[in-house]
Structure 1
Amino acid sequence: MARPKEFDPDHVVDAAMDVFWAGGYAATSTQDLCAGTGLGRSSLYNTFTSKHELYEQALRRYGERTRADQAELLERSGPVRAIIRDFLLEAVDRQLADPSRRGCLALNAAVEIGGADAVVADLTRADFDAIVDTMRALIERGQRTGELAPGRDAEALARLVHGALTGIHVVGRVAQDRERLSDIVDALIDSL
């Protein structure tokens, strides 16, 4: 009779997500994953079949969190500019509070292997699209209420917000002060 699993696969995916986030895909070894998840090699591979499969699941988990964050963002009330500004400043603060300056896992994956791996590209694109969709919905709300000019292309503005967020994650990996990143936010908000 097979022995029942003595671990929670969801917990393992969360732990693996942190390991990949810290080291990237290529630099993360099986030993790193074993140490980070608490599993032995056989348990890891019997459950997830490969490092790549576990990476895909980690990216899916990250995407689920992104979409949950985006849903929460849409529930916020108040001026749209303030909601978008707060969202971007929260990203700044998270980036600066992280001693490892890991940035965004989806962005890191897209840069590292997204161009060579169709599955990773699809997963990261879905994450990016969720952010753009949320920003577009917020911008359209602001256009309906008269806070933002109704004649501007909401999709293009949403992509601009996502571009600013991407810049925050990249510049935030080496920025020494909050001002450099908050300048990106302020310039973006002024452009809306």
Structure 2
Amino acid sequence: MARSKEFEVNEVLDKAIQLFWTQGYEKTSMNELVSFMGIHRRSIYDTFGDKHALFMKALERYGAKQANRMKLHLETQRPVKALIRELLESALTNEGEPLGCFLVNSGVELGVLDEEVASLVNGSYDYMEKLLMNVVIKGQQSGELKTDFEPEAVSQYLMNAWRGLRTLVKTTTDQQKLNHIFDMTMSVLD
């Protein structure tokens, strides 16, 4: 008789996300994953595959959660500038999560070396840029945003700013510097 799983897959996957996010792929050992996830090594292999497959599932889950969070935020019926401002502000805080962004961290660590990681990260970024572009178009059509730039270029710029802020919060505690970058980014919309 086959044993039933003694854990909830998404719960242990969320633990893997936390460990990979904090330490990165290369610095995280299988022993650490076993200990942190609270399941047996055999269960990890049977459920997720090897370390790389587990990492990819963790990255997929995180990317989907981030995209859904951004989608829900950007689709609310509020002024466009306020939505964009709040999105950029969210890059400066990590409520109970590790600093930065798991997607950004993974892209920086492995994007050049691992085609599968690069594809997943870039696919997530592309989706988020499309969400931003829809908001920019809406803001331009309503007159809230200037129409000097193509919506695609503005969304790429904003996505780059968001990723940059998500990276910078890992390396600086200089709030004034972060605020200057944030303010300059928002000034492009005026």
- Name the TM-score class by shorter chain: over 0.9
Equivalent of residue 125 in structure 1, options 95, 100, 122 = 122
2: CA distance between counterparts of 1:148 and 1:100?
Answer: 33
1: CA distance between counterparts of 2:134 and 2:122?
Answer: 18
The ranges of structure 1 where at least 4 consecutive aligned residues each deviate by more than 3 angstroms after the TM superposition are 97-100
2: CA distance between counterparts of 1:91 and 1:170?
Answer: 9
1: CA distance between counterparts of 2:47 and 2:98?
Answer: 29
1:10 aligns with 10
1:75 aligns with 75
2:103 aligns with 106
* Matched letter for residue 106 of structure 1: L
Unaligned regions of 5+ residues in structure 1, if any?
none
CA drift at 1:128: 1.0
Counting helix residues as a fraction of each chain, which structure ranks higher? 1
The number of aligned residues is 189
Q: TM-score, normalised by structure 1?
A: 0.92
2:162 aligns with 165
CA drift at 1:122: 1.1
* Matched letter for residue 105 of structure 2: N
Is 1:176 the counterpart of 2:173 in the alignment? yes
Is 1:148 the counterpart of 2:145 in the alignment? yes
Task: Decide whether the 8 Å contact of 1:92 with 1:178 is kept in 2.
Answer: no
Which residues of 2 match residues 10-49 of structure 1 at below 5 A? 10-49=10-49
Please give the per-residue CA displacement for 1:132-188, whole angstroms capped at 9, x wherever unaligned: 111111110100001112342111111110111111122111221322212212111
SS at match of 1:73: helix
2: CA distance between counterparts of 1:106 and 1:83?
Answer: 21
2: CA distance between counterparts of 1:191 and 1:174?
Answer: 25
CA drift at 1:98: 5.8
2: CA distance between counterparts of 1:184 and 1:130?
Answer: 24
Query: Once structures 1 and 2 are overlaid, which stretch shifts more, 170-179 or 34-43?
Result: 170-179
SS at match of 2:92: helix
2: CA distance between counterparts of 1:58 and 1:9?
Answer: 11
1: CA distance between counterparts of 2:79 and 2:48?
Answer: 45
2: CA distance between counterparts of 1:93 and 1:55?
Answer: 24
SS at match of 1:93: coil
Q: Say if 1:127 and 1:150 are closer, same or farther in 2 by CA, change over 3 A.
A: same
Coordinate RMSD, CA, aligned = 1.5
